[in-house]
Amino acid sequence: MLLGLFVLLACQLGGDIVAGAFALPVPGPVIGIVLLLVVMLIARYLPKGERGAGRQIKTAADNLLGWLGLFFVPAGVGISQHFDLVVANGLALAAVLVLSSVATLTVTVWVFILARRLTEERGNA
């Protein structure tokens, strides 16, 4: 699991370094996820089993996801400390939440439909 945690943190750091070095408009964690995807694609060709790199990355990621709820505590504390700002901008916040949720759902449906069409075309060919 230590190797898996190292790979996750190295991808995060690598993404931040690339985003900062090239002044990209993309956040470092997004680039880190792309790096992790590349690492996982490479890990498919490495030895399998319990000690395989892909398995260790999965174990580390699963353990981190088990503690994901804890990461929301600082955000909740921040909201409670600045509740006056939330109330003052409540309508704008609600509108942004609704619009971003609708946009996310719409894009997700489009991607699903596109992926389904592409996989059906490959299956029939």
Q: Which tokens belong to 109? A: 């449906």
Write down the pTM of the prediction.
Answer: 0.60
Given this model, what pLDDT does residue 122 score?
A: 72
Residue with tokens 């898996």: 4
Please write the tens of the pLDDT for every residue from 87-119: 999 999 999 999 999 999 999 999 999 999 988
Residues 6+ away with beta carbon under 8 Å from 5:
60
- C-alpha closest to that of 1 among 65, 67, 58, 66: 58
How far is Cα 13 from Cα 57, in angstroms, rounded to an integer? 16
SS3 for 124?
helix
Q: Report the distance separating Cα 63 and Cα 5, nearest Å.
A: 10
6 CB-side CA count, 13 A: 5
Structural domain boundaries of the chain? 1-66, 73-125
Enumerate residue ranges in the chain where pLDDT < 70: 49-51, 123-125
pLDDT score of 49: 65
Indicate the burial class of 91 (C-beta count within 10 angstroms; 0-12, 13-18, 19 or more).
Answer: exposed
